[in-house]
Amino acid sequence: MQSKESWRGAFCSLAVVLVAWWLISWIIRLPIVPSPVDVFINIGQDFFTKMENHVLYSLGRIFGGIGLSIIIGVPLGYLMGTYERVNRLLSPLVYFTYPVPKLALLPVVMLLFGLGEASKLIMIVLIVVFQIIVSSRDAVVNIPPEIFRSLQSMGASRIQMLTEIILPATLPEVLTATRLALGTAVSILFFTETFGTEFGMGYFIMDAWLRVDYLDMYGGIVVLSLMGFLLFTLIDVAEKRLSPWR
Amino acid sequence: MDKIIEVRHLRKVFGNNEVLKDINFSVSKGEVVCIIGASGSGKSTLLRCLNLLEYPTSGEILFHGVNILEQKMSNAVYRTKLGMVFQQFNLFNNLSVLDNCMVGQIKVLKKDKESARKTAMKYLELVGMVQYINAKPDQISGGQKQRVAIARALSMEPEALLFDEPTSALDPELVGEVLKVMKDLARSGMTMLVVTHEMGFAREVANRVVFMDAGVIVEENVPEVIFNNPANERTREFLRRILDQ
């Protein structure tokens, strides 16, 4: 998302969505589909008074959840990818628990960890961490073994194999996994924020809906997608910076 | 003569498959030893055992008389003393040609950037790749990659170089440039152990040729004897097959 062309692409696709939205609102003419113009004006008026705090809460939870997932998932994946024995031990566990619908565990998590931030982070981690584990493991497995051999033959230590080969070679895959995780995290976030909190975009949107304040509700949705866009762009920029050979 | 590497009763077993059976041989300083033999005869495994990319099942590997399998010297330090050139080049594709030759010196030998660069340039010049120092490995040909790989191994200033079929993955027209670099190296007095199918190279450059078959050293001798008057029937059979091609 750095070149001029990709920015132009972003604006074009945004324009198409907005025009479609505007057309629908113009045809339906009901308060449940307000015109995008009104929604954006509303965001302009409300952002720093009403929304700012919710945005910060949500961003914090996303960063926290994804950060924790990376801290847990990447080393686990690396271990599984490097040591066949660890993989044999853990991959059945991963495959067994990956498909469990974790949202169904929300009540359990809330009972055990309370209604606060902990249970929200845990929910995000529970769902997202598997994608990160599996992708980082596969990324390690896909490194040609000869590459290790050539560094090994120069007398490199295990730590150097990690920092010089595994980290740079798996970075693109880990970032892709993070990108996918991000989308999932935002949608889980919305769900967890509708319970037991009065902060966050999920709460803001549901609250507006209950108050039949459609302008606020759509404003919240737009801001949430902008947050997603911003985060995706951040990852793209990070990828360009960190693995310039791609 | 000063023996750099000596192997005694070396065995390597993969599962039920005994790939190396009681191997005994040595390489002295300044020698060029070529290992020939059919694929599956254990030559590459022997080479990998020598710098511990495969760990021998039993036996001794003496480096200047010290058994490195007894861990008196760390495996990593020992490996830096033996350079390795692989069949598939195994360059680091994310690094430039120059960086490929510097990374080991900086990370493993802890040299500073400037002296690492100097050393790398010296050997890149030797292999004739100075004009490509900023290229990435996917921008150069296989023969050029292998020359860079040789320069990379040399940049670690090892006591001996191990070559694992260095020309087998190359297009025929690119084999010559790599063999020429290797010949120059041999003439400069580098100690080299070369697993190869290039009989012409072995005949011309080797001080000694080792013929392996089914995990044992069948015969070893100066190239004139091995190629013109081999003692063993298996050697004769192998040479007849390979020279007929």
Summarize the confidence of residues A9-17 as an average pLDDT: 88
- Pick the residue of B51, B80, B85, B92 with the most A CBs within 10 A to test the interface with A by mutation: B92
d(CA B72, CA B166): 31
Q: What is the largest CA-CA distance in chain A?
A: 72
- pLDDT value at residue A29: 84
Q: Do A155 and B103 touch (CB under 8 A)?
A: no
> Tokens 């009763």 correspond to what residue?
B9
- Pick the residue of B48, B52, B79, B123 with the most A CBs within 10 A to test the interface with A by mutation: B79
Q: Do A154 and B108 touch (CB under 8 A)?
A: yes
Q: Does A147 touch chain B (CB under 8 A)?
A: yes
Residues A204 and A157 in one domain: yes
- pLDDT value at residue A2: 55
Judged against a pLDDT cut of 70, whether residue A245 lies above it is answered with no
For residue A130, count CB atoms less than 10 angstroms from its CB and return exposed for 0-12, middle for 13-18, buried for 19 or more: buried
Q: How do residues B180-201 score in pLDDT, each as one tens digit? A: 999 999 999 999 999 999 999 9
Asked whether A73 and A136 are in contact (CB, 8 A), the reply is yes
Amino acid letter, B93: N
- pLDDT value at residue A139: 94
Residues A69 and A167 in one domain: yes
Q: Does B80 touch chain A (CB under 8 A)?
A: yes
Looking at every residue in chain A, the average pLDDT score rounds to 89
**Complex prediction ipTM:** 0.71
* A-chain residue closest to B74, CA distance: A155
Judged against a pLDDT cut of 70, whether residue A138 lies above it is answered with yes
Band of pLDDT at residue B157, cut at 50, 70 and 90: very high
* Residues of B in Cβ contact (< 8 Å) with A150: 84, 86, 90-92, 149, 152
| Among candidates A149, A155, A165 on the partner chain, residue whose Cβ is nearest the Cβ of B108 | A155
DSSP secondary structure string for all residues of A216-229: HHHHHHHHHHHHHH
Residues A12 and A71 in one domain: no
- pLDDT value at residue A10: 83
d(CA B245, CA B243): 5
* Residues of A in Cβ contact (< 8 Å) with B161: none
- pLDDT value at residue B189: 93
DSSP secondary structure string for all residues of chain B: --EEEEEEEEEEEETTEEEEEEEEEEEETT-EEEEE--TTSSHHHHHHHHTTSS--SEEEEEETTEEGGGTSS-HHHHHHHEEEE-TT----TTS-HHHHHHHHHHHTS---HHHHHHHHHHHHHHTT-GGGTT--GGGS-HHHHHHHHHHHHHHT--SEEEEESTTTTS-HHHHHHHHHHHHHHHHTT-EEEEE-S-HHHHHHH-SEEEEEETTEEEEEE-HHHHHHS-SSHHHHHHHHHHHH-
Pairing of strands B160-164, B82-85: parallel
Residues A106 and A23 in one domain: no
Q: Do A150 and B92 touch (CB under 8 A)?
A: yes
CA distances from B77 to A19, A39, B115 (A): 67, 67, 20
- pLDDT value at residue A22: 92
Q: How do residues B76-97 score in pLDDT, each as one tens digit? A: 888 889 999 999 888 988 889 9
Q: Does A151 touch chain B (CB under 8 A)?
A: yes
Residues A99 and A122 in one domain: yes
Q: Does A158 touch chain B (CB under 8 A)?
A: no
Domain count, chain A: 2
- pLDDT value at residue A207: 92
Pairing of strands B191-195, B160-164: parallel
Summarize the confidence of residues A116-132 as an average pLDDT: 91
Looking at every residue in chain B, the average pLDDT score rounds to 92
Judged against a pLDDT cut of 50, whether residue A84 lies above it is answered with yes
Residues A17 and A46 in one domain: no
Summarize the confidence of residues A33-57 as an average pLDDT: 89
Judged against a pLDDT cut of 70, whether residue A196 lies above it is answered with yes
Question: Which domain CATH number covers A216?
Answer: 1.10.3720.10
Q: Does A152 touch chain B (CB under 8 A)?
A: yes
Residues A86 and A7 in one domain: no
Q: Do B86 and A155 touch (CB under 8 A)?
A: no
Judged against a pLDDT cut of 90, whether residue B70 lies above it is answered with no
Residues A95 and A159 in one domain: yes
Residues of chain B above pLDDT 90, percent: 80
Put simply, the chain B residues between 83 and 102 with a CB less than 8 A from any chain A CB are 83-84, 86, 88, 90-94
d(CA B56, CA B52): 7
Residues A4 and A109 in one domain: no
Band of pLDDT at residue A1, cut at 50, 70 and 90: very low
- pLDDT value at residue B72: 67
Residues A159 and A124 in one domain: yes
Asked whether A31 and A209 are in contact (CB, 8 A), the reply is no
Residues A111 and A231 in one domain: yes
Residues A148 and A68 in one domain: yes
* Residues of A in Cβ contact (< 8 Å) with B160: none
Q: Does B82 touch chain A (CB under 8 A)?
A: yes
* Residues of A in Cβ contact (< 8 Å) with B78: 155
| Among candidates B76, B90, B152 on the partner chain, residue whose Cβ is nearest the Cβ of A155 | B76
Structural domain boundaries, residue A127: 37-242
- pLDDT value at residue A168: 87
